[in-house]
Amino acid sequence: MCPVFYITILNPTAMHTDARTIDNNTLIEGDICIIGAGAAGISLALEWLDSGYKIVLLEGGGFEYDAKMQDLYRGKTTGQRYYPLESARLHYFGGTTGHWAGFCSPLDPIDFKKRDWVPYSGWPFQREDLDPYYARAQKNLELGPYEYNVGYYQQNDKSLISLPFNQDAVYNKMWQFSPPTRFGTKYRDAIVNAPNIHLYTYANVCNIAANDNISAVTEVTVKNFAGKQHRVRAKYFVCACCAIQNARLLLASNQQSPKGLGNDNDVVGRYFMEHLEIKSAEIWFDEPDQLKLYMMDLFHTKHRAELGISEQKQREYKILNGTASFTPLEIARKQSAFIDLWTADKKEREKNMAGFGKKASAGKRSGGYNSFQLFTRVEQAPNPNSRVTLDTEKDALGMPRGMLHWELTQLEKRSLRKIYEIIGQQAGISEKGRVRLLEYLQDENDDTWPEFTGGGWHHMGTTRMGEDVKESVVNADCKVHGIDNLYMAGSSCYVTAGAPNPTLTLVALTLRLSDHLKARVGLKA
Amino acid sequence: MQRRLFIRLSAYTAAALTVPLVSGCHQKMDIASQPQFFSHLVDAKTIAEIGQAYRKTKQEEDSGDKLRSLLLGDSTQSIPPDNTAISTMLVAKAKNDFKIGNIAVVKGWVLSVTEARQCALFSILQS
């Protein structure tokens, strides 16, 4: 059954077009053109349902996974070992929510602040400014109430017992888990059936054109494998293609600006950030413990805690923000690192990851465990040398491929070591257990990283936000500096990464952008 | 299994080693070589390895007398009544070390300096 035909029968106003099927050189026009239909693009479009404004939503892929589309994301990586780029993001309607695991937690207040020990830190607004949008974003991601205080969950379930640590040093950082919401299926009907939202699939934006003095975007060019090329005009344009592709698109739009659009100061693509996700230590107890508050059964658990490091301790030791999660040691020792499992080949990758999951659930003991592996998720310090650039090689649609140079600094390694010393100290004070750092953290003069070092598939920071045009690409409203109607949506705007997975924050940031756009057109948010 | 083995071994080692050290107060001090909480988590071999590693980095503490003095402090002047009292005192000292940040990371283990010294003393007694 053809989905488009089906929808058309039910709703003659359905607004979906496969851009391969329309006449070559079609001119598409709307009020707002959203480039990319992932968590950010779809969230933005949903905000404009029945608004009376015509929204053009452009998606490069279709509704299903397509290896040919994924190949457009292929690119070389240098520096710190990284996942194959074509496998780290999904290029179809719904984007990477098609395979995300649903981890959600807001950034901490300290993440937004200027920290003198973290170069280039400091957002142009604070956590409380984003709180109302976080609360709204919870709904998009099918989460519970905007409540991340451990006490809230412990009130409802007395078996969620905290480790007896001083919360002013090591606290319980709560996570909520989305089902996970697959935006491609969850919101497809809402988008396709909306009379004012026109979705074009197989519409890959390959160039953004501006007016003569490059103060406003005039149109974008879309291409597809049917050999068709179309133009899209709108009053406002929003790039929501993910951090690597947002930067790539700006850099590749270099017909009028040789360095790329919005890149007069050579900032586009720089400050690429990932979360380091890596096994780091072990904790040993004298009595077995279930650690129910901290455990997770993927796709079943609704919330859990990780160990967070307090703002006070981060300031005291001048370290980055990071959290530690627990896996029973006997299970963790059987599991390979994600960086070794996550291959370019989809079938092999799925087989590897299924094996990982089986090992995680096999041999679980109800009586608890004496030892656990501590697994870190830590922010990467913003680093201008960690960056996305263009390759000379082009993809099948003629667009230069993106290249990633992922580079870490000494601060990440020092922070990781200190995080576990702080946790170890709390384990000692409480007489709960003792912590052992893994070998790669034991020598404080060693700044190298082991082979199993990996990221969380979290791409952030390539069009970072700020007021200083020499250190940022967009302003506090996510508008590209110097270009009146071009916006970036998503994690590319992050100034710092915090410890949490980025999806909740990028949706919140998108809702904030939507309110800004509504204010610009005179609509009530 | 390994933990129990250590407890047996360490008790035996302490008893055996008190014989040549019987001159005066040392007889009641060998309990000082047993980090009570930590010895429930790891085996004797690990304790000895940690002790050796600590001695390598703290050569100024690399003698039994020095370690005893550091561990027991003034208690060497007025002999504590029994091993239990010494053990209790050392447990409290280790806990206080953690509280004030007097911590040593030895072979990756985040220990109180008191525990690290106990491991060091153990490694000397065992060698």
Domain contains A62: yes
Element (H, E) at A354: helix A346-361
**Chain A contact for B7, CB < 8 A?**
no
Give the distance from residue B95's alpha carbon to the nearest chain A alpha carbon, in angstroms: 5
Domain contains A400: no
pLDDT digits (tens, 9 = 90+) for B24-57: 344 444 899 999 999 999 999 999 999 999 999 9
Give the distance from residue A416's alpha carbon to the nearest chain B alpha carbon, in angstroms: 13
At residue B13, the pLDDT reads: 42
Residues in chain A with pLDDT values less than 70 = 1-14, 359-364
Q: Do A442 and B108 touch (CB under 8 A)?
A: yes
**Chain B contact for A438, CB < 8 A?**
yes
Selection from A81, A307, A294, A62 nearest residue A199 by Cα: A62
Classified as helix, coil or strand, A216 is coil
A232 and A325 both lie in a single domain: no
At residue A103, the pLDDT reads: 97
Count of beta carbons in the 10 Å neighbourhood of residue A226: 13
Residue at which a domain ends, from A398, A418, A448: A448
**Domain that includes residue A208, residue range:** 15-73+86-99+182-272+459-521
Domain count, chain B: 1
Whether a cis peptide bond, with omega within 30° of 0, leads into A502 is no
A228 and A298 both lie in a single domain: no
Query: CA of A371: which chain B residue's CA is closest?
Result: B41
A324 and A435 both lie in a single domain: yes
**What is the Cα–Cα distance from A463 to A495, expressed in whole angstroms?**
9
Instruction: Dihedral sign for Cα A147, A149, A150, A152, please.
Output: negative
* A274-303: burial string, b at 16+ Cβ within 10 Å, e else: bbbbbbbbbbbbbeebbbebbbbeeeeeeb
At residue A299, the pLDDT reads: 80
Q: Do A425 and B98 touch (CB under 8 A)?
A: yes
pTM of the model: 0.92
Of A370, A421, A431, the CB nearest to B110: A421
Asked if pLDDT for residue B17 goes beyond 80, the answer is: no
At residue A8, the pLDDT reads: 37
Torsion of CA A90, A94, A100, A106, to 10 degrees: 120
Neighbouring residues of B17: CB distance < 8 A, sequence distance ≥ 6: B30, B125
Selection from A360, A288, A362, A287 nearest residue A325 by Cα: A360
**What is the Cα–Cα distance from B30 to A338, expressed in whole angstroms?**
47
**Chain B contact for A284, CB < 8 A?**
yes
Selection from A170, A162, A427, A166 nearest residue B37 by Cα: A427
A210 and A350 both lie in a single domain: no
Give the distance from residue B53's alpha carbon to the nearest chain A alpha carbon, in angstroms: 12
pLDDT digits (tens, 9 = 90+) for B79-122: 556 888 999 999 999 999 999 999 999 999 999 999 999 999 99
A173 and A28 both lie in a single domain: no
**What is the Cα–Cα distance from A67 to B53, expressed in whole angstroms?**
53
**Domain that includes residue B110, residue range:** 2-126
A308 and A418 both lie in a single domain: yes
Selection from A57, A56, A51 nearest residue A38 by Cα: A57
Count of beta carbons in the 10 Å neighbourhood of residue A497: 30
**What is the Cα–Cα distance from A478 to A493, expressed in whole angstroms?**
7
Of B38, B42, B99, the CB nearest to A429: B99
Query: CA of A166: which chain B residue's CA is closest?
Result: B99
Selection from A260, A246, A180, A201 nearest residue A3 by Cα: A201
Domain count, chain A: 2
A172 and A190 both lie in a single domain: no
**What is the Cα–Cα distance from A6 to A162, expressed in whole angstroms?**
52
**Chain B contact for A419, CB < 8 A?**
no
Classified as helix, coil or strand, A383 is coil
Does A16 or B75 have the greater pLDDT score? A16
Residue at which a domain ends, from A422, A448, A474: A448
**What is the Cα–Cα distance from A412 to A381, expressed in whole angstroms?**
7
**Chain B contact for A469, CB < 8 A?**
no
CB A273 within 8 A of CB A382: yes
Number of H helices, E strands in chain A: 16, 21
At residue A395, the pLDDT reads: 98
A194 and A299 both lie in a single domain: no
A224 and A281 both lie in a single domain: no
CATH number of the domain to which A31 belongs: 3.50.50.60
Domain contains A109: no
* Burial (0-12, 13-18, 19+ Cβ within 10 Å), A144: middle
Cα A472 to Cα A123, A137, A461, distances in angstroms: 11, 25, 9
A356 and A498 both lie in a single domain: no
At residue A272, the pLDDT reads: 98
**Chain B contact for A434, CB < 8 A?**
yes
A413 and A433 both lie in a single domain: yes
At residue A359, the pLDDT reads: 66
A422 and A323 both lie in a single domain: yes
At residue A271, the pLDDT reads: 98
pLDDT digits (tens, 9 = 90+) for A316-357: 999 999 999 999 999 999 888 888 888 888 888 888 888 777
Count of beta carbons in the 10 Å neighbourhood of residue B3: 15
At residue A343, the pLDDT reads: 85
Residues on chain B touching A281 (C-beta within 8 angstroms):
108
Selection from A474, A499, A470, A467 nearest residue A122 by Cα: A467
